[in-house]
Chains A and B, each alone.
Chain A
């Protein structure tokens, strides 16, 4: 709690936190907040030529190619995107950290098997894997989240592995061994706190990449199934009309950028706040 209060003292961080909170609330209360049904195709939502309408008084952010209200779709899309960004990315970070930490600390044949498997996953085209997985299972938001986390943990595992190897060679770990500390104690009490900065950076970076990966999957037809909106598939549906209807790409794009920027800012601040070695330094 003290840490959270400390974070709010920095205006930029406070704004980022506020933005995340607002997006979360809007997503949660989308049915009440949204002005229209996100799936309804309005006849008056298209021009006489059948082109989408730019932002006006009725449709605050304009309409999409099928005459649906963009604002409502964005609000409902936030549900999918947040779910993917937080859950899928969270699982990926968790798997990556556990694999990297175990492989880096235990080494030996267990470490070799884990890391060779990681290399294999890295060499395997992520998209192909995602398509294969998504094709086997019935596509739904949860399956997409699972697929994304299966693909995204690899880089994190690599980074955590090499950091753990380096940390394990430090003297303070040797000291713990001479004191008779168990492996679990060394891992979670002494190694993990040092990995927090790396994990935070990857976790916050991962939010934007997972949201985009979800969009890619949607574009290929194996992601979140239309008409369910997500920020990513709104962009992909309409990117070919960027010149004639730029608002269709600009608004969801801005939402993704702002959200990942906010998470990055909060992550950075959290990293500093959690590092005791920075205390008493300017």
Chain B
């Protein structure tokens, strides 16, 4: 408790933010102590990002601040003239945003952007600023610094871009670094790398860190102190250990209870006796690339020889990082793109079917997409949207259709009144329920869920997962659940397949794959998952070394050698 008594470096005092009549942050107070990490957490709409923007003086012009002060260095940042704020930004307070691609200027090289930032704040010569940039990139462990300095943002991977962003924010060695969801857009191993880097930088430069994140795992890994916000109000402010061990606020308890924790699920119910509903054999998806006249024809080999079976009432999780081919596999299962190999649904071959021949099979296999905002046509009422599959498949009678839609909406926990409304009038979780109702309309046997809960807040996510489980029991549904989130996969799935570079590297019962991973890639993936457990803080140092990912662009008719699998236990196979 010594930190509490010493003078804080930055303190937010009774801050309120309003947009028009609406108060989005209300009476918020907290303090940042030198060299410590404070995490602000909460679900969407809690006002956590606005708070960080207020500190940077970057709130939109329409925002009003009826009360409050942000004290830094004996000055109130809210009352500082813009010129002085500009001076402070970057030099005393640095900021990292969520999306590294959009926060870097795509028309300037990495070197130019870094040097510009240095020179804006310090009167350095060209050579000195270049040296500073190079040293900073070294500090964030960017390999081949000299080459990187001349590269443009689009030439870097997501993780590299975020490292450059961090280097940029740290160039003038600010005393406070604000990171707004710095790892949300990144893969889990890249996230682990960035978290590790931030820890190292904090130690090397004594920077005070203010992190905004919705991920309780990240909070547990990084924070010294936590502020929990909900709808603009402060719910709880406590040291990290107290918060996780003995949460006080009801909201915090609810939030923590909703977070799925990896390794807490035990053995799944075995489904090996059930009949097979979906059989995938040697699935290959190649996207041909346009080449010149004299170039060799090339293709992106997105999915290579993927085989698995799915039984009635079973959930198969497909996990992997971006670009591993998991979503492409899902699209191939829906016949949304051309593929090689065989997909058998209830014994009927899907490959080669088109138009009218495919239509009856659509009744048995349906898909729920990641983004419920994008997958509902905003110009249609819910009745039109949920009733659409019925109409397409021949239920012309409006009365019958309406009855069925009411029934479907009730199944997913929505009232019949929802029918007359449009999708923008619903929250994210409700929209995903509408999507689920639509997918259920034709009584499918198999549902492909592609990152279907990733865009949702944890408490909403937990409800949707519960709904999916309940529907599975009621209708003996089989799910292919595509996700990057291991804890969610463990929560829902009976079996898990791990994909890497277009291939399945490990597949088996969830307790075996996630509890006793055999393939080095699975092990690496699992070791990178941040745990919402303050007693098990992970050391991500070993993850800082990147592994080699094979280039998916290969000659068009290149045949990949067939992957051999080794049986580890019953129904647990590992690529060798």
Residues in chain A within 8 A of chain B (CB atoms): 170-172, 174-182, 185, 190, 193-194, 275-277, 279-280
In the complex, what's the smallest C-beta–C-beta distance from A7 to chain B, in angstroms? Answer: 19
Min CB distance A278 to B, Å, is 9
**Given A180-B359, A277-B378, is A174 in contact with B425 using a C-beta cutoff of 8 Å?**
no
Provide 28 A-B residue pairs closer than 8 Å at the C-beta atoms, listed in order of the A residue.
Answer: A170-B374, A171-B370, A172-B377, A174-B375, A175-B375, A175-B438, A176-B388, A178-B334, A178-B362, A178-B367, A179-B366, A179-B388, A179-B389, A179-B392, A180-B358, A180-B359, A180-B363, A180-B389, A180-B393, A181-B388, A182-B392, A185-B392, A190-B380, A193-B379, A277-B378, A277-B379, A277-B422, A280-B425
Contact B369 A175 (CB under 8 A): yes
Q: Which of B334, B359, B369, B377 lies at the interface centre, i.e. has the most chain A CB atoms within 10 A of its CB?
A: B377
Q: How far is the CA of A185 from the CA of B393 in the complex (A)?
A: 12
Option from A172, A176, A179 in Cβ contact (under 8 Å) with B374: A172
Residue of B nearest to A175 (CB): B375
Can you add 20 more A-B contacts, CB < 8 Å, to A276-B378, A277-B422? A171-B370, A171-B375, A172-B375, A172-B376, A174-B369, A175-B369, A175-B375, A175-B435, A178-B336, A178-B366, A178-B367, A179-B438, A180-B359, A180-B389, A180-B393, A190-B380, A194-B379, A275-B379, A276-B381, A279-B422
Once A175-B375, A180-B362 are accepted as A-B contacts, the answer to whether A276 and B392 lie under 8 Å apart by CB is no
The 4 closest A-B pairs by CB, nearest first: A171-B374, A180-B362, A171-B375, A180-B359
Main secondary structure of the interface of A (DSSP, over half): helix
What 1/0 flags go to B426-465 for Cβ under 8 Å of A? 0000000001001000100000000000000000000000
Answer yes or no: B340 CB below 8 A from chain A CBs: no
CB-CB under 8 A from B362, the residues of chain A are: 178-180
Interface residues of B in 325-372 (CB under 8 A from A): 334, 336, 358-359, 362-363, 366-367, 369-371
The reply to whether the CB of B424 lies closer than 8 angstroms to some CB of chain A is yes
Residues of A contacting B370 with CB < 8 Å? 171
In the assembled complex, which residues on chain A have CB atoms less than 8 Å from the CB atom of B438?
175, 179
With a cutoff of 8 Å between Cβ atoms, the chain A residues found around residue B374 in the complex are: 170-172
Kindly list chain B residues whose C-beta atoms are within 8 Å of the C-beta of A182: 392
* Complexed CA–CA distance, A176 and B424 (Å): 19
CA A279 to CA B425, docked complex, whole Å:
9
With CB as the reference atom, state the residue of chain A lying closest to B441.
A179
Q: Which residues of chain B come closer than 8 Å to A279, judged between CB atoms?
A: 422
For A276, the chain B residues whose CB sits under 8 A away are 378-379, 381, 422
Q: Contacting A190 at CB < 8 Å: which of B334, B377, B393?
A: B377
CB neighbours (8 Å) of A275 from chain B are 379
The digit string for B364-406, where 1 denotes a CB below 8 A from any CB of A, is 0011011100111111110000001100110000000000000
In contact, B369 and A171 (Cβ under 8 angstroms):
yes
In the complex, A194 Cα to B380 Cα: how many Å? 11
* A175 and B367 in contact, given A180-B359, A181-B388, A190-B377 (Cβ under 8 angstroms): yes
Contacts of B369 in A (CB 8 A): 171, 174-175
Complex Cα distance, B442 from A221, in Å, reads: 64
| Smallest CB gap from A281: residue in B | B424
Q: Give CA–CA (A124, B379) in the complex, Å.
A: 38
Q: Which residues of B contact A177 (CB under 8 A)?
A: 336
Collect the chain A residues with CB atoms within 8 Å of residue B363's CB.
180
Q: Which residues of A contact B336 (CB under 8 A)?
A: 174, 177-178
| Assembled-state Cα–Cα distance A185/B380 (Å) | 14
CA distance A277 to B366 in the complex (A): 27
Q: Is the CB of A277 within 8 A of B392?
A: no
Closest to A196 in B: B379
B359: which A residues are within 8 A, CB to CB?
180
Q: How far is the CB of A90 from chain B (nearest CB, A)?
A: 23
In whole Å, how far is A139's beta carbon from the nearest beta carbon of chain B?
43
Find the A residue at minimum CB distance from B368: A175
Beta-carbon nearest neighbor of B435 in chain A: A175
Q: Which residues of B contact A280 (CB under 8 A)?
A: 425
Alpha-carbon distance A174/B450, docked complex (angstroms): 13
Tell me the nearest residue of chain B to A282, going by C-beta.
Answer: B20
Q: Which of A181, A190, A275 has the most CB of B within 10 A?
A: A181
Instruction: Looking at the assembled complex, report how far the CB atom of B177 sits from the nearest CB atom of chain A, in whole angstroms.
Output: 36
Q: What separation, in Å, do the CA atoms of A263 and B388 have in the docked complex?
A: 35
Residues of chain A lying within 8 A (CB to CB) of residue B367:
175, 178
Within the complex, what minimum Cβ distance (angstroms) separates B390 from chain A? 10
Residues on B with C-beta less than 8 A from A179 are: 362, 366, 388-389, 392, 438, 442
Cβ proximity bits B536-568 to A, threshold 8 Å, 1 near / 0 not? 000000000000000000000000000000000
Determine the distance from Cα of A176 to Cα of B391 in the docked complex, in whole angstroms: 12
Instruction: Write the nearest CB–CB distance from A274 to chain B, whole angstroms.
Output: 9
- Chain B residues in 8 Å Cβ range of A185: 392
Residues of A within 8 A of B376 (CB): 172
Taking the closest CB of chain B, its distance from the CB of A119, in whole angstroms, is 19
